[in-house]
Structure 1
Amino acid sequence: MVNQQPVRPLRRSTLGEDVYETLKVLVLEHTLTPGDRINIDALARDLAVSPTPIREALARLEADGLVRKRPLVGYTVSPLLTRAEFTHMFEMRSLLEAAAARYAAERASDTLRAAISAEAATTVDTDDGDPEGWHWHAAFTTLDARFHELVATAAGNPLLADGIARLHAHLHLHRRYFPYAETGTTGAEHQRIADAIRVGAPAAAEAAMRDHLDRARDRHLPAFE
């Protein structure tokens, strides 16, 4: 169920969080593939835990939008979005995240402005021991998500930040199809957003975020072909 490699038993002191993070990785890396029915007992055996922390982790993943619970079926991994749904998701991201960038430029503390700038400047090196690039890809998408989360946090509106986080769950399911050759372009776009936030330029931050999301959507769309 959980790939061919043996699974290391989890530490009891942080069991609930470890199970949640482990299942999240399995979903995002498509070891548990979109649409799959999740076998709780099999996961419990593979992870050497009782079914209880598995169920608790699945409830959290359901709140994240990464799994769904259906009557008489149980939990399944959320399916990938269709092209139309993907476009709709980016339309919502543009509305919410462009506003978040504007608010961040107006409201962010000096500490958050510095953190956003530092995150935009961070890069992920390729790993010679990772020939297929999966660990590098995961690190890059984590970095990308962290940048957007920081901007949302800096906006100073928890409801706005929560809405953005929920939309990102759908995007994370598609991360294996991200055009990783464009990581440099993504980094440059993040830098423009960060620069506008750092100097307190709301209109420029909003425009830079909207431009970034329009370009990001266009970079993803060929995967649907």
Structure 2
Amino acid sequence: MLEGTFLTALDPAATAAPRPTEAYASLRALIMSGAIPPGERINIEDAARRLSVSPTPVREALAGLESEGLVLKVPLRGYRTTELLTREELVELYELRRLLEPDAAAKAARRHDAALRQALDAELATMSSRPAPLPAIELAAHDERLHGIVFEGAGNSLIARTYARTHCHLHIFRLSYSGTYGHHTVDEHAAIVAAIDAGDDTGAAAAMREHLDLSLERVLGIYS
């Protein structure tokens, strides 16, 4: 049986008879929002009833989510959502990001694409005008979107997809330590966007590198 918040998280009217792709989207959204918490067991039959589908699209959805690392298949026990990242895994994730993201920011700046600049400016505006404190769930979603736009702007779709699959774990980690935050992240994003808007590849890489270092420092503060 699905325990905890998942039982009350679904609105039957909103989830009536989804197609297989919608079953995937529904389950992924529930995991990403924390409605299905880390480490939660997912019973296929129960999920199928609540999504008003047969078990088949649920199994297909869970297989896709397993490929993203959002769920694990446990022998003889079915599926469960993955646990939160450990401190060591967080550090490793940021090491990967530090290898990929400054270079992506520099490439985005060199492309100096008008549509990219417009997308970055629009995304930044969703949070920059907001007074502090900023809700964790909104800030985390903004962070994921903005970094995703930078990767897309760099023009490497494979790296963009890899980033999306790793960043989702950081997103869930942040939501699990809910609270409110100041404008540090948004201010750092503004510096990255300004450099990309100006076509300054060196400045964009440096701003991204500084942002990642400061972000890791803030995240690791949870453990202190």
Q: Give the alignment's TM-score, normalised by structure 1.
A: 0.85
Q: Contact 1:37 / 1:77 at 8 angstroms: preserved in 2?
A: yes
**CA separation in 2, counterparts of 1:89 and 1:201?**
26
State the shift of 1:27 in Å: 1.5
Q: What secondary structure, in the 3-state scheme, does the structure 1 residue paired with 2:67 have? A: helix
1:108 shift after superposition: 4.4
- Deviation, structure 1 residue 40: 0.7
Partner of 2:152: 153
1:81 is paired with a residue whose SS is coil
Distance in 2, Cα, partners of 1:37 & 1:52 = 18
Tell whether the 8 Å contact from 2:16 to 2:51 is kept in structure 1 after alignment: no
Q: 1:48 to 1:109 in 2, by over 3 A?
A: same
Identity %: 41
Residue ranges of structure 1 left out of the alignment (5+ in a row): 127-132
Matched position secondary structure for 2:8: coil
For residues 44 and 96 of structure 1, do their structure 2 counterparts lie closer, same or farther at Cα, with a shift above 3 Å needed?
Answer: same
**How far apart in 1 are the matches of 2:10 and 2:164?**
32
Give the direction of change, closer, same or farther, for the CA distance of 1:16–1:138 in structure 2 (3 Å limit): farther
* Corresponding position of 1:21: 25
Counterpart position of 1:129: none
Post-superposition CA distance 1:119-170 (Å, at most 9, x none)? 12222858xxxxxx9xx53333222211010000000112221221122022
Aligned to 1:172: 171
**Which of 8, 17, 21 is matched with 1:4 structurally?**
8
Distance 2:178 2:144 in 1: 13
Could you tell me whether the CA contact under 8 Å between 2:38 and 2:83 is conserved in 1? yes
Offset of residue 224 of structure 1? 2.6
Matches within 5 A, 1:125-140: 136-140=135-139
Indicate the residue corresponding to 2:116 in structure 1. Answer: 112
Contact 1:7 1:46 in 2 (8 A): no
Alpha-carbon distance between aligned partners in 1 of 2:126 and 2:86, rounded to the nearest angstrom: 32
Aligned mates of 2:153, 2:9 — CA distance in 1: 40
Match of 1:194 in 2: 193
* Larger mean Cα displacement after TM superposition, 159-168 or 25-34: 25-34
Question: Which secondary structure does the structure 2 equivalent of 1:3 belong to?
Answer: helix
State the 1:198 CA deviation: 0.8
C-alpha spacing 1:220/1:125, structure 2 compared with 1 (3 Å): same
Tell me which of 64, 75, 79 is aligned to 1:75: 79
Contact 2:105 2:208 in 1 (8 A): yes
1:62 counterpart = 2:66: yes
Question: How many residues are paired up?
Answer: 215
CA spacing shift, 1:6–1:203, aligned 2, 3 Å:
closer
Contact 1:121 1:191 in 2 (8 A): no
Note if contact 2:136-2:181 (Cα within 8 Å) is conserved in structure 1: no
Q: 1:47 aligns with which of 39, 44, 51?
A: 51
Give the unaligned 5+ runs of structure 2.
Answer: none
Conserved in 2, the CA contact under 8 Å of 1:11 and 1:18?
no
